[in-house]
Chains A and B, each alone.
Chain A
Amino acid sequence: MIKLRSTFPVIVTLLVTACGGEREIPEPLREGLVYCSEGNPEGFNPQLVTSGTTVDATAAQLYDRLIDYDASSQQFVPALATRWQPLDEGTRYRFYLREDVSFHETDYFSPSRKFNADDVIFSFNRWLDPTSLYHNVGGGDYPFFTATGLDKLIKRVVKVDRYTVDIILRNADSSFLANLATDFAVILSAEYAGQLAVKETPEQLDTQPVGTGPYRFRRFRKDYFIRYNRNPDYWRQGPGIEHLVYSITPNANKRMLKLVTGECDVIPYPLVSKLQSLNQKQIKVQSEVSPNVGFWAFNTDKEPFNDPTVRQALAFAINRQAIIDAIYYGNAELADSILPPTSWAYTTTSQQYEYNPEKARQLLDQAGVEPGFKMTIWAMPVQRVYNPNARRMAELMQSDLAQVGVEARIVSYEWNSFRRRLSRGEHDTALVGWYADNADPDNFFRPLLSCAAVSTGSNRANWCHRGFDQILVNAISTTDTEKRKQLYHSAQQLLNQQLPLLPIAHSMRYQAQQDYVTGVELPPYGGISFRKAGKELQQ
């Protein structure tokens, strides 16, 4: 006993000196970067999802696209395709492919050939062609492509020669290239898919991914980490780090704490309220006015939310300015259209839904909704740039609604179950939002409010309006910007009057990181990219 008592302080002293910081930083820590992501990815193939968490975790790290969008020059730039040209009055696009790109060599796959046209054809047919072998693997749902109508727009993808493909469209569409440059239009390996099909484990394609991107997949442990290694054969300038780890940290407070203690190098969605205290020390905060919108969707399949008067009444009942102040701490703009004011297609709407409980009650009476009416508000469990704290927002709305005699109950589930249940339409109303994938205004309308998006489940309002759909179709069939502008203006007026969803805020996007991290910029569109990531440690 006495012996042990005397060794204990020695152990403690050892430990304290061990982590006391006198030693130099061990090699693995110098060569790697830890990104504390906010949740588990649903899979490792962005074709199958729209969730930002999954896109952040996979798209830019594992894969490349045919073309990229450069936000600073507002132009499309070459990626896997070196150049492209529209043919046949914009109904056929020809892409010339790079010839020096190889797929990832991992412990479960070694490629025998370089990237070529077959991979492009395979990747597109996966979501395009319902008869293709892999179409139904992983459920057969390709929400982004269905919602944007890309699966209807593209007629065929044809191999011209080994390094040339043609994409044939049903009609000319001005949003086509923008959609190809999104995080979802990734290129998979046809050779790997073929091997998996022989082994009869096709679902591995989405859980043990192979791509051409700057990182190779190594391991995923649910709730704890994703590990990536640098791809040494990357075809363009790759990252300056060897390892990239996603440390999964759903709790926003803990993420901030881990940044302060140095366990995270980069964190997404820092708590806006605590940003002030972060500005000290060695932590850098980046912000970006980003194309997003947080909104309150009414399930128009359910009574009484199918009645526009009820939806308008509920809109009048909510004090949105108070929400902006309390939830976004002023780091957001009150939204009066689903489009952010930075978009070229934005217009101010005629009817403003200012906070007015008397009017709300009056409209509810008019629609026959009795005081004491019960409804649910589904608040998403994760932080998003468009909604940093949906639960608290729901609480504020709960008390606003109580003022007009509506009893709201708040519902929340783990993120993946939450999304599944929303797709099944179990909600009365839901607090969710949208982050644009590309610069085209179409991206705000069709994925969120078209009839096609009802069946894919990304139309959280389950709202299908033929007239509205027609406006959207007309808007993408023309390349005349002035004409498109007019059409989107009328679309916004119609939305404003029908109100399938109440826009709440357009928020700033934030990211916080240690000052020695370089090359991790906030992308204005789409997911985070670590392609240029590096560390500048002072020894």
Chain B
Amino acid sequence: MTRFLINRLLYLVLAIWLLTIFSFCLNWLFPGDVITNMSGIRPLSPNYDMAFQLRGGDSNLFIQYSYYLQNLINFDWGVSLVSQKPVWAEATRTFMATFEILLLGLLLALLTGLPLGALAAARYKSPVDKVIISTAIGGYSIPVFWLAQLLILLFAVKIPWLPITGQIDPLYLIEPKTGSILIDVMLSQSEHKTDALYNALAHMVLPVVVLASLPSMLLLRMMRNTTVEVMQKPYVKAVRARGLSPFRVVTRHAVPNAIQGIIQQLTFIFGLMLANSVIVESIFNWPGIGSWLLKAIIERDYPVIQAALLILVATTLVVNFIFDIYRGWRFPIVREERYGTA
């Protein structure tokens, strides 16, 4: 296990290191002044000379890279070219906002996809199964942006239940400190915390549901197929023969075995959700990292583009790493596949 852990960790560090080199190179690939692209400070600004010194503007590439890495680690990520506000502070806020809906979306996907998948498998080839699986295939084929428009039309315009943009009604005067709106409401001194919390939750419903829809359908199908596969195995027949009810067979024996395959797919699902979050955030004006990146691209805000790319890719890498470790720890067979030993 230790060997496996070290091995995975080395891969992670290597990947992130390559990522920093790529992001460093972007400063040259973007048009304009290199130091400006890194720091967000324009050549005519009185602070430019200092930024030039701090980033080793007149030394060779290797030294510049070491300065770059140092600034990266010290969270001195420069300022936005457009707003002249520190990039790192905004990056953490937007990341937390994205992470919040991502996590809730994943949770919702798991909570709907897995039980429904298991139910379909338990009632394999029955009408219940057919209804569930055809809904899943239909749901899987709906593009995210279209579903979002549909839900807006239905639950915001026709039936005025839910708000459609932002994290909370701005009149609640909740300051974005961490970026995660639920935490921000909890931390705030507002006299109307409960109302604010309800309002924040209501704002969250549509983005989370839209974000969860695709992974939920994916998980449902995966769960159903692997469970059905497991159900064909001889040991399942054996426990059936001993008189266990089909329900208990599924929950006690088939599901735990099916989960393993699913966890393997979770990294892929997370990546998919991260990609979809860019669309969802833009539709619902969610102040997350995806919409931040999109605006930065439109405004040619190079320090922000770099930061957002760096964080998005690093997040994917770290999540991959975590799932890898979890699987290696939980299912020794993964380690065996790689090294032939446990």
Residues on A facing B (Cβ under 8 Å): 1, 4-5, 8, 15-16, 18-21, 26-29, 31-32, 34, 219, 221-225, 227, 243, 245, 247, 249, 254, 257-258, 260-263, 413-414, 416-417
- Residues of A near B298 (CB, < 8 A) are 413-414
What are 29 A-B contacts with C-beta separation under 8 Å?
A5-B115, A8-B111, A18-B198, A19-B161, A19-B163, A19-B198, A28-B169, A28-B171, A28-B190, A29-B171, A31-B171, A34-B169, A222-B80, A223-B287, A223-B295, A224-B166, A243-B171, A247-B165, A249-B285, A254-B164, A254-B165, A258-B164, A261-B157, A262-B160, A263-B163, A263-B165, A413-B298, A414-B298, A416-B299
Tell whether A222 pairs with B85 under 8 Å between CB atoms, given A5-B115, A414-B299.
yes
CB distance from A436 to the nearest CB of B (A): 29
Q: Is the CB of A15 within 8 A of B285?
A: no
Give Cα distance in the complex from A243 to B192, angstroms: 15
Q: What 7 A-B pairs are tightest by C-beta distance, nearest first? A: A32-B171, A26-B195, A19-B202, A245-B170, A18-B198, A222-B83, A414-B299
Give Cα distance in the complex from A261 to B165, angstroms: 10
CB distance from B318 to the nearest CB of A (A): 27
Q: A-facing mask of B157-198, CB < 8 A → 1, else 0?
A: 100111111100111110110000000000000101001001
The answer, among B156, B161, B171, for a CB contact under 8 Å with A245, is B171
Q: Is the CB of A257 within 8 A of B156?
A: yes
Give Cα distance in the complex from A18 to B194, angstroms: 11
Tell whether A28 pairs with B161 under 8 Å between CB atoms, given A18-B202, A19-B202, A417-B299.
no
| CB under 8 Å from chain A, chain B span 292-342 | 295, 298-300
Tell whether A26 pairs with B156 under 8 Å between CB atoms, given A227-B170, A261-B164.
no
Give Cα distance in the complex from A27 to B171, angstroms: 10
- Residues of B near A224 (CB, < 8 A) are 166, 170, 285, 287
- Residues of B near A29 (CB, < 8 A) are 169, 171-172
Give Cα distance in the complex from A31 to B161, angstroms: 21
Q: Is the CB of B111 within 8 A of A4?
A: yes
Q: A21-B161, A26-B192, A243-B173 are in contact. List 9 more A-B contacts (CB 8 A).
A: A15-B201, A20-B161, A26-B195, A223-B287, A224-B285, A225-B170, A227-B173, A257-B164, A261-B160
- Residues of B near A19 (CB, < 8 A) are 161-163, 198-199, 202
Q: Is the CB of B161 within 8 A of A16?
A: yes
Q: Is the CB of A221 within 8 A of B176?
A: yes
Q: Is the CB of B173 within 8 A of A257?
A: no
Interface of A is mostly: mixed
B13 located at the interface, meaning its Cβ lies under 8 Å from any Cβ of chain A in the complex: no
Give Cα distance in the complex from A243 to B169, angstroms: 12
B20 located at the interface, meaning its Cβ lies under 8 Å from any Cβ of chain A in the complex: no
Give Cα distance in the complex from A31 to B173, angstroms: 12
- Residues of A near B300 (CB, < 8 A) are 417
Bin the interface of chain B by size. Answer: 35 or more
B205 located at the interface, meaning its Cβ lies under 8 Å from any Cβ of chain A in the complex: yes
- Residues of B near A221 (CB, < 8 A) are 176, 287
- Residues of B near A219 (CB, < 8 A) are 175
B83 nearest CB neighbor, chain A only? A222
CB distance from B104 to the nearest CB of A (A): 11
| CB under 8 Å from chain A, chain B span 106-125 | 111-112, 114-115
Q: Is the CB of B172 within 8 A of A21?
A: no
Give Cα distance in the complex from A221 to B177, angstroms: 12
CB distance from A430 to the nearest CB of B (A): 19
Q: Is the CB of A257 within 8 A of B175?
A: no
- Residues of B near A417 (CB, < 8 A) are 299-300
B251 located at the interface, meaning its Cβ lies under 8 Å from any Cβ of chain A in the complex: yes
- Residues of A near B287 (CB, < 8 A) are 221, 223-224
A19 nearest CB neighbor, chain B only? B202
Q: Is the CB of A15 within 8 A of B82?
A: no
Give Cα distance in the complex from A221 to B251, angstroms: 49
Q: Is the CB of B171 within 8 A of A1?
A: no
The answer, among A225, A261, A414, A416, for a CB contact under 8 Å with B163, is A261
Give Cα distance in the complex from A383 to B164, angstroms: 22
The answer, among B157, B190, B192, B285, for a CB contact under 8 Å with A260, is B157
B274 located at the interface, meaning its Cβ lies under 8 Å from any Cβ of chain A in the complex: no
| CB under 8 Å from chain A, chain B span 132-171 | 152, 156-157, 160-166, 169-171
- Residues of B near A34 (CB, < 8 A) are 169-171
